[in-house]
């Protein structure tokens, strides 16, 4: 269904907001969006049991995921299904007040406007370390819960980063990160890219899988201050699936929007290893391999969002993504031919 105009939105959702809160809806503000088809609106309430609500406007095909892979469409809205599991796990997710399936609206707890990104972007490493350790603690707790409580009724446990999805994402980079920008690999380069991408996808697909948020990064963690310190709230989890234990840590520490110093990055990876009980050397290699796969995908996806969705705002984050790939490739000598091909076409690898 198409997105509604401002007037149609107020006529449709104000009465529901008033019913849910016992107050009077007075203002509708459409919030800045990302790359998805969903739109978010904040309703200001006068009186009642809440001062604001957030309404997710789902748009067309709300059961379909652009990111979570192939397979049959779920029978329940993924956001609701996965929110229920995460809430049971003790994860700090927004409360759901009502789902209007016919209208295509989800009424949610308002988590505010303070993102993790805004708190750490200009902070020093000591402050950053505190926030990132809190995010890692939440991630480790979720991973442990999911390992001990798999749930076939949760959509995330029915789909995963298999070989096909991993390989598709790497090919997505070749198509948009290289070819769409005029960087045409030669036949021999294309053959080598195919060989390497298959190798990366096969190795990652063979790793043990656990619960993966899918986009656990600074724009999907909201910060709420309290007397006992900041509370991190998790959003944008509807594409959750199964993948490597490094995937969400890569999303957090190799975030395209916030670049960490090498010393802080190394310290935080070591902190995760200690908290999660991982084997340092083995996990370090897995982390770097996952960086290569995830951040190449991101670089290609940002071009796709510009060319296909006409949203150029993510293009500025491509250099960070590719710099992460270059650093990880420097620790993966068996992928030297990939670095050489990328260096032939992209400045940052030279």
- Pick from 156, 175, 147: which is nearest to 71 by CA? 156
Size of the chain, expressed as the number of residues it contains: 350
CATH class as words, domain 6-108? alpha beta
Give the relative orientation of helices 187-205 and 336-345 as an angle to the nearest 10 degrees: 130
pLDDT for res 75: 82
Query: How far does CA 128 lie from the centroid of its chain?
Result: 19
Q: What are the residue ranges spanned by the domains of the chain?
A: 6-108, 116-349
Pairing of strands 52-57, 96-100: unpaired
pLDDT for res 347: 87
Task: Using DSSP, state whether 299 is helix, strand or coil.
Answer: helix
Global pTM?
0.94
pLDDT in tens, 251-279: 999 999 999 999 999 999 999 999 999 99
pLDDT for res 139: 98
Q: The domain 116-349: what is its CATH number?
A: 3.90.1200.10
pLDDT in tens, the chain (350 residues): 567 888 999 999 999 999 999 999 999 999 986 656 789 999 999 998 889 999 999 876 665 655 545 556 678 999 999 999 999 999 999 999 999 999 999 999 999 999 999 999 999 999 999 999 999 999 999 999 999 999 999 999 999 999 999 999 999 999 999 999 999 999 999 999 999 999 999 999 999 999 999 999 999 999 998 877 789 999 999 999 999 999 999 999 999 999 999 999 999 999 999 999 999 999 999 999 999 999 999 999 999 999 998 999 999 999 999 999 999 999 999 999 999 999 999 988 87
- Pick from 349, 178, 324, 200: which is nearest to 251 by CA? 324
Q: Answer whether 18's CB lies under 8 Å from 50's CB.
A: no
26 token code pair = 């007075």
pLDDT for res 50: 87
Tally Cβ neighbours within 10 Å of residue 170: 24
Phi, psi of 124 (to 5 degrees): -80, 175
Quote the CA–CA distance of 160 and 301 in Å, as a whole number. Answer: 19
């Amino acid at each position: 269904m198409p997105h509604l105009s401002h007037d149609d939105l107020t006529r449709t959702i104000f009465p529901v907001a008033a019913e849910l809160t016992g107050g009077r809806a007075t203002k509708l503000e459409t919030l800045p969006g990302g790359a998805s088809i969903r739109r978010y609106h904040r309703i200001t309430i006068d009186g009642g049991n809440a001062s604001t609500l957030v309404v997710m406007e789902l748009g067309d095909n709300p059961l379909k995921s652009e990111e979570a892979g192939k397979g049959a469409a779920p029978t329940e809205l993924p956001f609701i299904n996965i929110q229920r599991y995460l809430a049971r796990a003790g994860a700090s997710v927004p409360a759901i007040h009502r789902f209007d399936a016919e209208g295509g609206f989800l009424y949610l707890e308002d988590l505010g406007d303070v993102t993790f990104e805004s708190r750490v972007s200009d902070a020093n490493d000591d402050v950053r370390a505190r926030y990132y350790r809190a995010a890692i603690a939440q991630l480790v707790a979720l991973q442990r819960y999911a390992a001990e409580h798999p749930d076939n009724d949760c959509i995330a446990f029915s789909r995963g980063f298999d070989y096909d999805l991993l390989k598709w994402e790497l090919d997505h980079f070749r198509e948009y990160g290289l070819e769409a920008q005029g960087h045409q690999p030669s036949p021999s380069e294309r053959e080598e890219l195919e060989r390497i991408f298959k190798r990366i996808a096969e190795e990652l697909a063979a790793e043990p899988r656990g619960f993966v948020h899918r986009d656990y990064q600074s724009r999907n963690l909201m910060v709420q201050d309290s007397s006992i310190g900041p509370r991190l709230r998790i959003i944008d989890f509807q594409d959750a699936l199964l993948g490597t234990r490094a995937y969400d840590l890569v999303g957090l520490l190799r975030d395209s929007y916030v670049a960490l110093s090498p010393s802080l990055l190394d310290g935080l990876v070591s902190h995760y290893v200690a908290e999660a009980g991982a084997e340092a050397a083995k996990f370090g290699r897995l982390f770097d391999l996952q960086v290569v796969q995830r951040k190449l995908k991101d670089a290609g996806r940002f071009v796709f969002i510009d060319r296909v969705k006409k949203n150029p705002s993510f293009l500025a984050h491509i250099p960070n993504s590719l710099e992460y790939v270059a650093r990880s490739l420097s620790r993966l000598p068996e992928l030297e031919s990939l670095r050489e091909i990328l260096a032939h076409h992209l400045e940052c690898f030279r």
